Structure 1
Amino acid sequence: MGSDVMTLPPFGQELRKEFCMRKGSMFLNHGSFGMVPRRVKDVQKLYIDKMDDHPDDWFRRTNLGKWKVGRDTIATFVNAEPENVVLVQNATTGINTILKSMNLKEGDGILATDNTYQAIRYTCEHMKASNNGSRYHMMDIKYPIQCVEDVVDQYRQFLSTHPHIRLAVIDHITSPTAVVMPIQKIIQVCRDHNVLCMIDGAHAPGQVPIDITDLNPDFYTGNLHKWAYTPRGCALLYVKKEHQSWVRPLVTSWYYLKEFTMEFFMQGTRDDCAYIAVPDALKFYEDLGGMAAITGYTSSLLDHVTDRMVAEWGTDKLPIPRDMEAPCMKMIRLPKMDQYDVSTAEGYRLMDDLFYEHDIQVQIFCVLDNLYVRLSANVYNYPDEYSLFINLIRDVAQNKRPMCLNRKSEKTTGVSDMPFSDK
């Protein structure tokens, strides 16, 4: 990364021009798929062009050196030794890598929670189905949460009564509820019960501090394309040295059993340009002012917005303590709306209606028998666009404004047609 600091517009509406979002779209859901800055996308395009200029030169001579620079930059960002870090497409890939490398025996268990990302829960179910006699345990996170010890005690009690659990998948920040989990304390509880820790940090890099050396997990994976501005398809996977002898990438290729990091690098003709653009993405992150400036802005913005929502909708936030709220993501209960029942499918339908009718993109989850909106803000968001959303939901709840008036008669594929939500 270069040392010169680029001059950028102030946070808010003026900064939208630094990103690639289409004009007129109200994008209140940064966390699901991120938003690539124009200058980072330009760097990615330059590398793609270089790859296409001479593929043999790229794959035989150039790619590895640049991949290592990207990997080393990520390792520094999370304070991990580079030889313990590899690059994968996303956090789901990282968790699949670890779980599918495990040699589970009859009775061995994997632990997740009801707040675990659905694709990871499916992976746990797959492990149970493909390993004769292994078990999948799901622990329900109990709300309201008064303090971090409430969650730590839940893990302690569950592991005490389920002694055959071998690995726990632990969210750093939960996807459907945006809760910052006390992972350092949970890791220690797992150590006390001889349980391996797989930390799912899908939403963590760039949003909360990460110090792998201090945390000392067995495994950690996290996306860079959500909150650290890399192109999509870029995540880290940390594997503690003592486990590298048995962890294998999902794709077996030329470096099988030869060298740990090279096994993950050598994956055929994969496009690694997202990984290679990491130094430029993190330079953009630092040019914005780094974590303190970014999360200071988003926290203040979302505090103001959520207070308005609670007041104008007559609802409340997810019942968790302040120190477990994510700085760039907040959960607010939606008011009752006659047009929408309380279910996951109805939440998807509401998301589609907001998108097709008003070009508003939010994420809605069914939590605690209510529909909640998960707001996920970044430096290009600003108060006025939230006002439009607040007023719209209030009017629909009060039956002052119907939805779906202009929906096309021919169904257009949208979120509700897809078998997944997103992180």
Structure 2
Amino acid sequence: MSDFLLDPEVIFLNHGSFGACPKTVFEEYQRWQRELERQPVRFLQRELPGLLADARRQVASYLGANANEVVFVANPTFAANTIARSLPLGPDDEVLISDHEYGACRFAFEHAAQQKGFRVVQQAIALPVESPEAIADAFWQGVTEKTKLIFLSHITSATALELPVAQICQRAREAGILTMIDGAHAPGQIDVDLCKLGADFYTATCHKWMCAPKGSGIFYAREDRQHLVEPLVVGWGWGAEKTFHRENEFIEHHEWLGTYDPSAFLTVPAAITWQNQVVTKEVRQRSRDLVHSAVHLAAQIDGIERVHPDSFYYQMGLIDVTAKCVDAEALKSRLYEKYRIEIPVIRWQDRIFIRVSAHAYTTQGDIQALIQALQEQLSPQNS
């Protein structure tokens, strides 16, 4: 915990929502902010293009992509809106998603569907899952001759499930269907190689599991698909009188949106360095073991069930409290107010899950505190 700025009085088991930034990375973030304010004109007009290019090269290397295929965005919601509004989808077209997708990104496609007339199809992936192949087969049942785009999470937010996106991207390419993967929870939690993954488009946060400052994310577009992408915000990078001339139009169109604070983007290389030095395979495995411990111990409480086999989740896991008939918001509030445990209680379909996250700062004592709290709060007299 000493490496982070987290409140030591809070048991923080919710890294998955917004992440947590290490002190050294946050100091670098503040250094960039001070550099910006020292001489804004010099920084924004003369230095920023080169600084962003260097940061892009480093994050692209970390994710197994080419530097000219990646731009920084505030978050995956921004990238999802960009694709939903860019692609030439009409009344005869369908966008296929799963019923595990993050609400804000799903809303982006549903809103665009209202404007353009295409249809958003949600394909169910039932829980518990049996194998990656079974997930891919279940999802593929939603594909029709009208399917033009597949939008799918790499690791789902509500259900903490790794989906077999490489398999699905390969099937989609063979069928002539575009793919966009929401990797909000993937980089930093699992290894990501975008060239091998095979998606046409990919978006991710850097502020979650990569532990960069809030408001830093990436949007990847394969070079041969970039002509399909229009900027969500038209600014100086789009017109003939460009403020900066960069490597290609994809970067020009999407990188300069007007005056903004780029400090979070420029800090991503420091977060990558911190990841490489601190978040070793051993640290990731320890975090995963702590999550497994939480899931296994909770399942020993009468009425609490497991959701996924261990192989399907990493540093986030689910505790199914549906049978306890609890009020999700009330339970979340009690866990925080009485026990100072910050953890999400999620409604998904007709089920209620507690999603536990672990990172370098998590201890077995944190897990034991959660289990004790659940034993008390979910006892017959409280449930």
Q: Does 1:76 align with 2:61?
A: yes
Q: Which residue in 2 is equivalent to 1:383? A: 364
Q: Which residue in 2 is equivalent to 1:122? A: 107
Conserved in 2, the CA contact under 8 Å of 1:335 and 1:397?
Answer: no
> 2:208 is paired with a residue of what secondary structure?
coil
Alpha-carbon distance, 1:25 to partner: 0.8
Alpha-carbon distance, 1:264 to partner: 1.8
Alpha-carbon distance, 1:313 to partner: 4.2
RMSD: 1.7
Q: Does 1:42 align with 2:27?
A: yes
Q: Which residue in 2 is equivalent to 1:110? A: 95
Q: Which residue in 2 is equivalent to 1:215? A: 197
Q: Which residue in 1 is equivalent to 2:139? A: 155
Q: Which residue in 1 is equivalent to 2:128? A: 144
Conserved in 1, the CA contact under 8 Å of 2:181 and 2:201?
Answer: yes
Alpha-carbon distance, 1:65 to partner: 1.4
Task: Give the AA of the match of 1:111.
Answer: L
- Distance in 2 between residues matched to 1:401 and 1:323, nearest whole Å: 33
Conserved in 2, the CA contact under 8 Å of 1:295 and 1:328?
Answer: yes
Structure 2 counterpart of 1:275, from 236, 258, 265: 265
Alpha-carbon distance, 1:280 to partner: 0.9
In the TM superposition, what are the counterparts of 1:304-315 in structure 2 within 5 Å? 304-315=293-304
Q: Does 1:288 align with 2:278?
A: yes
Alpha-carbon distance, 1:336 to partner: 4.5
Alpha-carbon distance, 1:171 to partner: 0.8
**Percent identity for Structure 1 against Structure 2:** 28
Alpha-carbon distance, 1:70 to partner: 1.2
> 2:48 is paired with a residue of what secondary structure?
helix
In the TM superposition, what are the counterparts of 1:15-414 in structure 2 within 5 Å? 16-131=1-116, 133-159=117-143, 162-256=144-238, 259-290=249-280, 292-318=281-307, 320-325=308-313, 327-334=314-321, 336-337=323-324, 340=326, 346-367=327-348, 369-399=350-380
> 1:220 is paired with a residue of what secondary structure?
strand
Task: Give the AA of the match of 1:190.
Answer: A
Conserved in 2, the CA contact under 8 Å of 1:170 and 1:199?
Answer: yes
Alpha-carbon distance, 1:334 to partner: 2.2
- Distance in 2 between residues matched to 1:71 and 1:266, nearest whole Å: 14
Alpha-carbon distance, 1:169 to partner: 0.4
Q: Deviations over 1:281-314 (max 9, x none)?
A: 1111111143x12311111112222221111345
Q: Deviations over 1:21-66 (max 9, x none)?
A: 1130111000110001111111111110111111111111121211
- Distance in 1 between residues matched to 2:361 and 2:93, nearest whole Å: 46
- Distance in 1 between residues matched to 2:229 and 2:139, nearest whole Å: 26
- Distance in 1 between residues matched to 2:267 and 2:110, nearest whole Å: 35
> 1:277 is paired with a residue of what secondary structure?
helix
Conserved in 2, the CA contact under 8 Å of 1:168 and 1:196?
Answer: yes
User: 181-190 or 367-376, which moves further after superposition?
Assistant: 367-376
Conserved in 2, the CA contact under 8 Å of 1:313 and 1:334?
Answer: no
Alpha-carbon distance, 1:337 to partner: 4.3
- Distance in 2 between residues matched to 1:117 and 1:241, nearest whole Å: 26
Alpha-carbon distance, 1:315 to partner: 2.3
- Distance in 1 between residues matched to 2:322 and 2:351, nearest whole Å: 9
Conserved in 2, the CA contact under 8 Å of 1:147 and 1:321?
Answer: no
Task: Give the AA of the match of 1:322.
Answer: D
- Distance in 2 between residues matched to 1:155 and 1:36, nearest whole Å: 35
Q: Which residue in 2 is equivalent to 1:4? A: none
Q: Which ranges in structure 2 are unaligned for 5 or more consecutive residues?
A: 241-248
> 2:300 is paired with a residue of what secondary structure?
helix
Q: Deviations over 1:377-397 (max 9, x none)?
A: 101010112222211221122
Q: Which residue in 1 is equivalent to 2:245? A: none
TM-score by length of 1: 0.85
- Distance in 1 between residues matched to 2:303 and 2:139, nearest whole Å: 34
User: 385-394 or 169-178, which moves further after superposition?
Assistant: 385-394
TM-score by length of 2: 0.93
Q: Which residue in 2 is equivalent to 1:405? A: none
Task: Give the AA of the match of 1:304.
Answer: S
Q: Deviations over 1:392-422 (max 9, x none)?
A: 22112224669xxxxxxxxxxxxxxxxxxxx
Alpha-carbon distance, 1:353 to partner: 2.6
Alpha-carbon distance, 1:322 to partner: 3.4
- Distance in 2 between residues matched to 1:309 and 1:155, nearest whole Å: 30
Task: Give the AA of the match of 2:122.
Answer: M
- Distance in 1 between residues matched to 2:27 and 2:79, nearest whole Å: 27
User: 69-78 or 365-374, which moves further after superposition?
Assistant: 365-374
Distance 1:203 1:257, change over 3 A: farther
Task: Give the AA of the match of 1:354.
Answer: L
- Distance in 2 between residues matched to 1:382 and 1:313, nearest whole Å: 24
- Distance in 1 between residues matched to 2:380 and 2:302, nearest whole Å: 13
- Distance in 1 between residues matched to 2:93 and 2:324, nearest whole Å: 45
Conserved in 2, the CA contact under 8 Å of 1:313 and 1:335?
Answer: no
Conserved in 2, the CA contact under 8 Å of 1:109 and 1:167?
Answer: yes
Q: Which ranges in structure 1 are unaligned for 5 or more consecutive residues?
A: 1-15, 341-345, 403-423
Q: Deviations over 1:307-352 (max 9, x none)?
A: 211113452211x343322x101111127546x3xxxxx3123212
Task: Give the AA of the match of 1:394.
Answer: Q
User: 210-219 or 306-315, which moves further after superposition?
Assistant: 306-315
